[in-house]
Amino acid sequence: MQEFPGVLAEARLWQIVALSLEVSLSAVGLAALAGLPLGAALAVARFPGRHALIVLLNALMGLPPVVVGLAIYLLLSRAGPLGALGLLFTPGAMVIAQTVLILPIIAALSRQAVEDAWREYEEQLRSLGARGMQAALTVLWDIRFSLLTVILAGLGRAAAEVGAVIIVGGNIDGVTRVMTTAIALETSKGDLPLALGLGVVLIAVVIAVNAAAFLVKEAAQRRYG
Amino acid sequence: MILPLVLRNVAYRDIIQPLSLEIDAGPSTIILGANGAGKSVLMRLMHGLLAPTAGGVAWRESDALRVRRLQAMVFQRPVMLRRSALANVVYALAVAGVPPAEREATARAALAEVGLAHLAQRPARVLSGGEQQRLALARAWALHPEVIFLDEPTASLDPTATREIEAVIRAFDAGGTKIVMATHNLGQARRLGDEVIYLHQGRVLERTPADRFFSQPASAEAAAFIKGELPWV
């Protein structure tokens, strides 16, 4: 058994931490790029079936990671429709799986945030002549500081999940091993101190990211009101 | 010229009873009435934010884009975007389709017009209530509309800010922009109005030149309103 400080000093550990952040931040970036405009559009547009779509989107926030992992696995496996890309058991596959997992979270939460703000903005924006997607994106940008919390919710989900990345990534040492899969492995191997150490590092990283986001948000809000 | 604006038998639910009105260029029009008389709804029907449940609203021109660009509205509580005062005006110009190269100069001129040139870079949301309303006026005026609808623009402002806003409105009026303003403030109606449309429970009870309205209102309701309101002016 290793002592905590020994664990922390290992270069391999920091490689795992870096890959975790790389995968989860990439997934959050992609999911935000698609999910924020999607949520804004759903908040502002009026069409038949909108309510059903909102309910579905909200329900998808609870997608089980293992199910998403399995679906992406089938898509990317050699016999699957996207097998030719050769992405299975690469960090790329993990990014895809996590993006699918958190896209509904970011879209659903931003839909709610934009819809609440829309009540305040609608008349003014329509009066100025902003229509449709233009108005939706205006509101999205205007509540950008509040949306940071939406992004963090997505990041939290991505950083914490193990089910999807372990299926599509395979937990290969030095290639696709991230913190959560490493913790699962060490726990099953019985190396509880190492698993616990990794857990502490994971939580510390998540807290650091959230603290940084909070400071940015506070500063920006003081500046722009 | 998109004016005159013609409302023919316009009704809105049970808030506005069927009414016909013609709003033409020239003297400023004050829509006066108590709270709940339907002033705000009438303004929104004119501006196109609400569709009438009966009757029709028509401008002289039928080109929808020109009709939209040549009218503007200032609300009781303006919504400012989280960006600088200048950027708020630039946004309005961008939405209206003004070429990028012309936007900043046009926006700066509008800010200067309302006395906010020195606050151009200040975030709009941290401006005072009076400054925000002047910014809203600049944003509305930047495109040099033919007509500006003002919905109780000073209702939540203190007397000093109110005077500043009224000065700006008078300048717009003098510059040839048609002013259509809703208010329940008699003093303001007297100071800014050339003619008064008195609205009571969704009906137009009278439309009279301002000086005559205040000295000898035609309807009993307007007389009671003037009498009842005066102590508060």
- Identify the residue whose tokens are 């924020």: A36
A146 Cβ under 8 Å from any chain B Cβ: no
ipTM over 0.90: yes
Tell me the CA distances in angstroms from A187 to A158, A167, A180, A182, B222, one per residue in order.
20, 17, 11, 8, 83
Q: What is the DSSP string of A6-51?
A: HHHH-HHHHHHHHHHHHHHHHHHHHHHHHHHHHHHHHHH---TTHH
Is a pLDDT exceeding 60 seen at residue B233? no
Inter-chain touch A130–B95, beta carbons under 8 Å: yes
B83 Cβ under 8 Å from any chain A Cβ: yes
Q: What are the structure tokens assigned to B132, written together? A: 């925000």
- Identify the residue whose tokens are 């926030």: A61
Picking from A121, A129, A223, the nearest residue to B79 by CB comes out as A121
Is a pLDDT exceeding 60 seen at residue B231? no
Show residues of chain A in contact with B124, CB under 8 Å.
225
Domain boundaries, given as residue ranges, for chain A: 18-178
Looking at residue A224, what is its pLDDT?
Answer: 84
Q: What is the pLDDT of residues A75-130, one digit of tens each?
A: 999 999 999 999 999 999 999 999 999 999 999 999 999 999 999 999 999 999 99
Q: What is the pLDDT of residues B28-74, one digit of tens each?
A: 999 999 888 999 999 999 999 999 999 999 999 989 888 999 999 99
Among A118, A122, A128, A138, which would you mutate to test the B interface (most chain B Cβ atoms within 10 Å of its Cβ)?
A: A128
Picking from B47, B83, B91, the nearest residue to A127 by CB comes out as B47
Give A4's pLDDT tier (boundaries 50, 70, 90). low
Show residues of chain B in contact with A145, CB under 8 Å.
82
Show residues of chain A in contact with B82, CB under 8 Å.
141-145, 224-225
Contact (Cβ atoms closer than 8 angstroms) between residue B179 and residue B72 = no
B129 Cβ under 8 Å from any chain A Cβ: no
Is a pLDDT exceeding 90 seen at residue B9? yes
Show residues of chain B in contact with A129, CB under 8 Å.
68-69, 92, 95-96
Per the structure, the count of domains in chain B is 1
* Average of per-residue pLDDT across B158-165: 93
Inter-chain touch A127–B69, beta carbons under 8 Å: no
Looking at residue B156, what is its pLDDT?
Answer: 87
Across-strand partners of B7? B21, B57
Q: What are the structure tokens assigned to B107, written together? A: 């926006």
Which residue is closest to A118 within chain B, CA to CA?
B79
Which residue is closest to A142 within chain B, CA to CA?
B82
Contact (Cβ atoms closer than 8 angstroms) between residue B158 and residue B130 = yes
Tell me the CA distances in angstroms from B26 to A73, B54, B187, B216, one per residue in order.
71, 28, 21, 23
* Average of per-residue pLDDT across A199-207: 92
Is a pLDDT exceeding 70 seen at residue B126? yes
Closest CA to A36 of A118, A130, A142, A151: A151
Inter-chain touch A130–B73, beta carbons under 8 Å: no
For B81, which DSSP code?
A: P
Which residue is closest to A123 within chain B, CA to CA?
B49
Q: What are the structure tokens assigned to A147, written together? A: 């949306």
Q: What is the pLDDT of residues A177-200, one digit of tens each?
A: 999 999 999 999 999 998 998 899
* Average of per-residue pLDDT across B107-116: 96
Residue type, A139: V
* Average of per-residue pLDDT across A29-45: 96
Is a pLDDT exceeding 90 seen at residue A168? yes
* Topology annotation, domain A18-178: MetI-like fold (1.10.3720)
CA of B184, closest CA in chain A: separation in Å? 21
Inter-chain touch A134–B95, beta carbons under 8 Å: yes
Looking at residue A44, what is its pLDDT?
Answer: 94
Picking from B49, B123, B125, the nearest residue to A127 by CB comes out as B49
Mean per-residue pLDDT over chain B, rounded? 92
Looking at residue A225, what is its pLDDT?
Answer: 77
Length of chain B: 233
Is a pLDDT exceeding 90 seen at residue A223? no
Looking at residue B147, what is its pLDDT?
Answer: 96
Where residue B88 sits, what CATH number does that domain have? 3.40.50.300
What count of other Cβ atoms lies within 10 Å of the Cβ of residue A47? 7
Is a pLDDT exceeding 60 seen at residue B170? yes
Helices (H) and strands (E) in chain A, counts: 10, 0
Is a pLDDT exceeding 70 seen at residue A9? no
Global pTM reads 0.88
Q: What is the DSSP string of B143-179?
A: T--SEEEEESTTTTS-HHHHHHHHHHHHHHHHTTPEE
Contact (Cβ atoms closer than 8 angstroms) between residue A87 and residue A73 = no
Looking at residue B232, what is its pLDDT?
Answer: 47
Tell me the CA distances in angstroms from A180 to A17, A48, A165, B160, one per residue in order.
10, 41, 9, 62
Query: Cα–Cα distance between A100 and A84 in angstroms, integer?
Result: 20
Closest CA to A169 of A68, A94, A67, A80: A94
Query: Cα–Cα distance between A201 and A123 in angstroms, integer?
Result: 48
Looking at residue B229, what is its pLDDT?
Answer: 65
Query: Cα–Cα distance between A107 and A105 in angstroms, integer?
Result: 6
Quote the percentage of chain A above a pLDDT of 90.
Answer: 85
Inter-chain touch A128–B126, beta carbons under 8 Å: no
Closest CA to A175 of A69, A27, A22: A22
* Average of per-residue pLDDT across B194-218: 92
| Chain A residues 104-123 with CB within 8 Å of chain B | 120-121, 123
Show residues of chain A in contact with B95, CB under 8 Å.
128-130, 134
Domain coverage including residue B114: 5-232
Inter-chain touch A129–B96, beta carbons under 8 Å: yes
Query: Cα–Cα distance between B182 and B29 in angstroms, integer?
Result: 9
Inter-chain touch A127–B139, beta carbons under 8 Å: no
Show residues of chain B in contact with A144, CB under 8 Å.
82
Among B65, B75, B95, which would you mutate to test the A interface (most chain A Cβ atoms within 10 Å of its Cβ)?
A: B95
A224 Cβ under 8 Å from any chain B Cβ: yes
Looking at residue B151, what is its pLDDT?
Answer: 95
Give A6's pLDDT tier (boundaries 50, 70, 90). low
Is a pLDDT exceeding 60 seen at residue A48? yes
Length of chain A: 225
Closest CA to B191 of B145, B218, B159, B143: B159
Inter-chain touch A128–B91, beta carbons under 8 Å: yes
B47 Cβ under 8 Å from any chain A Cβ: yes
The pairing of strands B178-183 and B29-32 is: parallel
Looking at residue A212, what is its pLDDT?
Answer: 93
* C-alpha torsion sign, points A77, A81, A82, A83: positive
What count of other Cβ atoms lies within 10 Å of the Cβ of residue A222? 10
Is a pLDDT exceeding 70 seen at residue B23? yes
CA of B57, closest CA in chain A: separation in Å? 16
b/e map A114-127, b = 16+ CB within 10 Å: bbebbeebbbbbbb
